[in-house]
Structure 1
């Protein structure tokens, strides 16, 4: 395993995690809603559409924050070593998984586990195991 020490930022990562945790807590305390991205987006796509203002504001923040950060400093870049077809299949599988699990990693992992939900713990462990297995197969068995 190789750790890129030039881009290793535990302090910023900790700060980001704390901001996510506080934002999730504020949303549930003041709005009674879970900060699960699939549920927030799904609420905009389903009929009847409810609570559009906060959902749009939440998604605008997700998109706007990295844009603003890149304007203020070094833009965030990602080196994704996959074709567009692979990315689209992966996105479809993630979407399918969030439907079967009744939520995504942000809803179950950040919000559900913090509320003591056994279902969220099982879902998060399943997400993580599937991710580990995917990396094992793709990087070490097929691509290796």
Structure 2
């Protein structure tokens, strides 16, 4: 077992929990990324864009700062010199998968951050059902891609 990777995961999880708690405590908002982005794009409600943009910039800047400090991003690429590797199934498949995820967040009224982190912490039965659906879909997808289609290691 890689203790360093486990500590990185633990620290990351704690930071996600703290940011979600901070957002709820200070603004009364749920840290659901799809809702934050969706309402930033549609500018609803009016005058509510500053915190959304700040939150998203924090999501993007965190990994960049970590890389600049020499921390790396962990094992997210095929070879050690790469930051992000080639999409496993190709760009077209990645675009299609992204569209499916976007449609799923619309149908599920949220994403894993909103339902899985914030909703479960609030003991929401609806979020439990959504999170279990996300997990089941991920398990089936990995099985199909790796074992039926043969596209993974």
TM normalised by structure 2 equals 0.85
Specify whether residues 115 and 8 from structure 1 end up closer, same or farther in structure 2 by C-alpha distance, changes over 3 A only.
same
Q: Distance in 2 between matches of 1:7 and 1:38?
A: 32
Q: Distance in 2 between matches of 1:99 and 1:130?
A: 16
When the two chains are superposed, the root-mean-square deviation of aligned CA atoms in Å is: 1.7
Q: Distance in 2 between matches of 1:128 and 1:55?
A: 27
Q: Distance in 2 between matches of 1:25 and 1:139?
A: 37
Q: Which has the higher helix share?
A: 1
**Structure 1 counterpart of 2:18, from 16, 22, 26:** 22
Measure how far apart 1:12 and its partner are: 1.2
Gaps of 5+ in 2: 78-86
TM normalised by structure 1 equals 0.90
**Structure 2 counterpart of 1:83, from 70, 85, 90:** 90
Task: Tell me the residue number matched to 1:46.
Answer: 42
Gaps of 5+ in 1: none
**Structure 2 counterpart of 1:37, from 33, 38, 45:** 33
| Corresponding residue pairs, total | 140
Task: Tell me the residue number matched to 1:134.
Answer: 141
